[in-house]
Chains A and B, each alone.
Chain A
């Protein structure tokens, strides 16, 4: 008899694993379909509910000289609300005998125009005050407050422009109010790490790359589920012992299982990442992908899943149950999740030396940095990060093969 051909052995295990896992409908739904539905739904439903909130503003006019202007202010606020597609109600009360407590119950935001307001805004150097009270803990109150602020800003601009016009008239000079109010204009452009000027599209691609870095956060979970089930699930279901006595080598058996977990993990990762991109698009972000970033992301995802599978395999070989293996794997992989979540907000290349050293020692960091480097045009550094990442995978896979031991699996001697 000859020893079993390695590639045939791996293909056979792969065939069985894919067949078996693809019929585990509940798990597949949980790791593939659910995120694909839930994340975009989250963005869509939240945004629909956000704009459908009914918020209200009550303007109490104590300064009767401002009574007519208050109607104009109300119209401006309503217009701002319409521009933001908000359900905003604005009421003006000029009644001198108003019950303040009752007014506060009636509205999310109450703006009081005190006596002397009109006088102060008409004076060349007067400063008028609007007293505002906001309902505590209500996002609807935030919406109303923003619309009020926006309208008052417009009112301020028109008052300042009028004052400038009057000053210019006194001084008998010609002045552009806009230039006087904003003496410094900022013209923003972009550049790449290499110093080359970048276009707006490249900045958008870099922003999208940050979201892709963050999407790695979701890649880890399915691989842990599939790999722990492929090893400990077999033990718990009493199917592993027959496999262990078959002509398969331990290495081929583990390789077949890892490949199957990786294939399903990649499908789940694609679904999760697509869901995440849809989430941001539905939340109003403009995203753009380049071929280079997409390739870097795919290579990083494959590496990350292989890394996760190897770690989960090691943990599973030393765990008693699938659940305990998953808990321990998630505990270890939470380091990866922290890094990928941080990458959404932190430039990992700009952290202090001590933090950078620690991060560089963690293989997961290199998946995130590879995507970042490609998005900023540093292809060479991206390749170096990927080489470090793949070297770590080789080491961990070798360790996983060593740990994948029939005696340990059958008798659980962690």
Chain B
């Protein structure tokens, strides 16, 4: 069963083709890594899947719904999204972020308490830090805070755009740990990254994206076997050749 089904998605911006017949299927409960260099269409793919940007053509179903339909607003509470360049509110504390998003996503007081508890666990930040304004946080702390509010409501589908990019080893390791744990509890992940070594460690399935199209797709092993490569990096270079 697929949680995301996209067929021949086309998106142009000012006559420039950003997504060119993008087709991908994400199985439920998997970690799907969308791998490709900067400018390959990873972020736009995610934004189209989330209904933030309208597609020009193509078939798209996410959680069984068209993101451009009226019913989509209801489905948004089943999704978590961590944009690549997302930042927390500088004048709020970490705890205030958690409270704010828990209020937005919860339907009852029990929901709310559960979300706050979950976010505190994922963020893994000391209480003293959580009570400080985020201006005092390191990049890794900010990213963990944002990940915690992305996943606090146990989304069925989580889209993470470069979740570990530029982070220290510890922060990066903890984030991957959280992703694996939540995948075990049934959350499906789509992770966009340009770091193919990271993709190899975490992915159930990998989709190579270049110029707005999926050019190769499968499990890590399938891709390595298909392209007779030692690593995803080598496989990617073999697929795209010298185009990039």
Contact = CB atoms under 8 A, between A and B. Distances in A.
Nearest to A408: B53
B155 to A, nearest CB: 10
A248 B101 CA distance: 11
Contacts of A20: 89, 91-92
Given A238-B86, A238-B87, A407 B52 contact: yes
Contacts of A239: 86-89
Given A2-B74, A12-B104, 9 more contacts: A3-B74, A4-B77, A24-B91, A237-B89, A241-B52, A242-B150, A244-B52, A246-B101, A247-B73
B89 A1 contact: no
B90 A237 contact: yes
Interface residues of A, number: 29
A148 B149 CA distance: 77
Nearest to A24: B91
24 contacts: A1-B78, A3-B74, A12-B100, A12-B104, A16-B96, A19-B96, A24-B91, A237-B87, A237-B90, A238-B83, A238-B85, A241-B81, A242-B81, A242-B82, A242-B86, A245-B50, A245-B79, A246-B104, A246-B105, A247-B77, A247-B104, A407-B53, A410-B53, A411-B53
Interface string B124-148: 0000000000000000000000100
Nearest to B100: A16
A23 interface: yes
B118 interface: no
Nearest to A25: B91
Nearest to A238: B87
Contact of B103 (A12, A244, A411): A12
Minimum-distance CB pairs A-B, first 6: A23-B91, A247-B77, A238-B87, A12-B103, A241-B83, A245-B81
Given A237-B87, A239-B87, A406 B53 contact: yes
Contacts of B76: 245-247
A14 to B, nearest CB: 11
A70 B137 CA distance: 81
Given A16-B92, A237-B89, A9 B104 contact: yes
Interface string B54-82: 10000000000000000001111111011
Interface of A: 1-4, 8-9, 12, 15-16, 19-20, 23-24, 237-239, 241-242, 244-249, 406-407, 410-411, 413
B105 to A, nearest CB: 6
Sort chain B's interface into a size bin. 35 or more
Nearest to B52: A406
Contacts of A411: 13, 53
B180 interface: no
B38 interface: no
Contact of A249 (B47, B52, B73): B73
A238 B146 CA distance: 12
A138 B227 CA distance: 90
B126 to A, nearest CB: 22
A241 B92 contact: no
A246 B77 CA distance: 7
B206 to A, nearest CB: 24
A107 to B, nearest CB: 60
A16 B52 CA distance: 22
Nearest to B93: A19
A396 to B, nearest CB: 24
A16 to B, nearest CB: 5
B52 A410 contact: yes
A15 B74 contact: no
A225 to B, nearest CB: 16
Contact of A242 (B78, B83, B91, B107): B83
A2, A241, A248, A411 interface centre (most CB from chain B within 10 Å)? A241
Contacts of B75: 1
A237 B90 CA distance: 9
A244 B92 CA distance: 19
A16 B81 CA distance: 20
A340 to B, nearest CB: 32
Nearest to B47: A410
A23 B90 CA distance: 10
Nearest to B81: A245
Interface in B2-38: 13-14
B100 A15 contact: yes
A326 to B, nearest CB: 20
Interface string B85-119: 11111111000100011011101000000000000
B53 A1 contact: no
A247 B92 contact: no
A410 B18 CA distance: 15
